[in-house]
A and B are shown apart, each in its own frame.
Chain A
Amino acid sequence: MAEPILEVRDLTFSYEGFSTPVFRDISFSVSPGDIFVILGANGAGKSTLLNCMTGILTQYRGEILLHGRPLRQIPIRERALMMGYVPQVAVPTFNYTVRDYVVMGRAPHIGLLGTPSEEEYARADAAIREMGIEKLSSKLVTRISGGERQQVQIARVLTQGANLIILDEPTNHLDFGNQLKILDIIKSLSEQGLAIILTTHMPDHAILLDGRIGILDHTGHMTAGALRDVLTESALKQLYDTDLRLLHIDELGRDICVAVGRRKAP
């Protein structure tokens, strides 16, 4: 087992003035090649957890270690060299070309007063090729579809050169086909040795990714572990407060998660 890139130990966070913590005693770790999927209900604290992990929120109890060092003590630029973040898909305010947008990922490698050189652009082009979006290279980021924008953002985070990537609900707002495309990309990135953490609403996606799971429940506790152990029907029913089944499909060779739905009257 490789040295963990990110370790979360007994993480507890409450907003100032609130006695009830958003979540408590969360522990998990992520090593190169791992995929860690965080499932949680709306309002359970997934965004807060992500904000703690990316260093936006710092008033937590417990510890987050990045490459063994406390996250809060790592300077911002160094942190960006080790950890990349793909936010939920949003339309940027200004009209940059995809190529210019992707090269922004090289920011931690460029000084305060610098601009991207030919070399940096070469890396951006490489990432664009890796994601297979060359045809988008000179288009404006505001004029491409949501799915394309998600790919562009992943290309950007790749140019950062970090070996840990955190994605916030990467399949939101995407159509069915694009959702699966992104999941494929995530899987291939992990196969290349990157560590991936992502949040999602779709248990089925968690199954497709076949990584480790953390379920964040209403009380703020996380149950983390291997897919098979943690992702049980009862856990999911409790999480989503809805009737569902985990079924094994022989034809596909995998489990799926389906909602029971309303039964039609016979």
Chain B
Amino acid sequence: MSHRTKRWMLAGFAVVLVFVFLICLCVGRFYVPPLQTARILFNCLAEGIFHAPLEVTWNDSMESIILNVRFPRLLAAVLVGAGLSVSGAAYQGVFKNPLVSPDLLGVSAGATVGASLAILLGCASTLIQLSALAGGFLAVFITVSIPKLFRNNSSTMLVLAGIIIAGFMSSLQSLMKYIADPEVELSSIVFWTMGSLASIKMTDVLMVAPAMLAAFVAVIAMRWRVNLLSLGESEALSLGVHVSRVRGLLILCSTVLTACSVCMCGTIGWIGLVIPHFSRLIIGEDNRYMIPASVLLGASFMVIVDTFARNLTGSEIPLSIITGVLGTPVFIWLLKMQKVRVQ
């Protein structure tokens, strides 16, 4: 597959994402005719940029649904889907292992502990999110400090440290569940750990969007370096790559992406593992194309998953359940296609 073909494919994925986004914006329990949806969206642009609002043919409820309920949700889904996929892709390259997920260094476990603590203390949702961010960063910070303690900077040491910290965070999490009041807090914590975009507000999205966008840009800019890192530490070093610095930067960006994702919607599994594989299957293993592909495919996937979550049954299905149910057979199929070589 030539480079040109791959570039066209990326463009195709972008178009798919836009389509999926628009279609899912029209789908929901409260019926809004697609024409009105389009008009509401255009009106937003027309009013905001050109100061020339359209004629109002819709009612307040419709506008509220589209702009205040569905749009922030889908936007969050895009960021979360892309963020988790790119984190997974970056880690898989950095750690030379296609079976690695963004939770490798413990960011999800730490974020969950942070959120649970905030829920136990009765904090409002914004504080819960900040607490999740703090917990995620703290966990990764401890993880990357352990190799420094043992003065062994290899990636194996890093992975081991991640396992230790994730395990520790997991026990803390169990402790919190045990302390939690079963009437109110426990169900809150459990629902949070399964992932949901039900209560997302535009302000929540705007709080994390700048950091996430910066991280996206950084990882995409460094995507060729991921290729170099995937050759292994000593080879990359010999090619003049400052391995610990580049690896550190990639870990930082991935942590930002994953922590922000978790703080918006709780923990969601499988995406960071499956979407990069899927991208590899379609567009090849060169990170120059695989990483942007993961961004686009991950975003589309998450938008679709969230739409299922809020429309399949009467109540909201937690996102992790859908990604798990969809992700597991897809992963088995990918293994069967033997594009994943387990070494």
Contact = CB atoms under 8 A, between A and B. Distances in A.
Interface of A: 51, 54-56, 76-81, 83-85, 87, 90-96, 100, 104-105, 107-108, 110, 112-116, 142, 160
Interface string B222-239: 111101101110110111
A94 B238 contact: no
Contact of A93 (B97, B225, B286): B97
Interface in B233-281: 234-235, 237-242, 246
A92 B239 contact: no
B284 A77 contact: no
A104 B228 contact: yes
B285 A94 contact: yes
B326 interface: no
Contact of B221 (A51, A56, A113): A113
B100 to A, nearest CB: 11
Contact of A55 (B98, B227, B237): B237
B343 interface: yes
B288 interface: yes
A160 B237 CA distance: 13
B237 A87 contact: no
B201 interface: no
Contacts, number: 76
A76 B241 CA distance: 7
Interface string B37-79: 0000000000000000000000000000000000000000000
Contact of B240 (A51, A80, A90, A113): A80
B96 to A, nearest CB: 5
B237 A108 contact: no
Contact of A84 (B224, B238, B284): B238
Q: Which of B225, B228, B239, B246 has the most CB of A within 10 A?
A: B239
Given A56-B237, A93-B230, A77 B222 contact: no
Interface string B20-50: 0000000000000000000000000000000
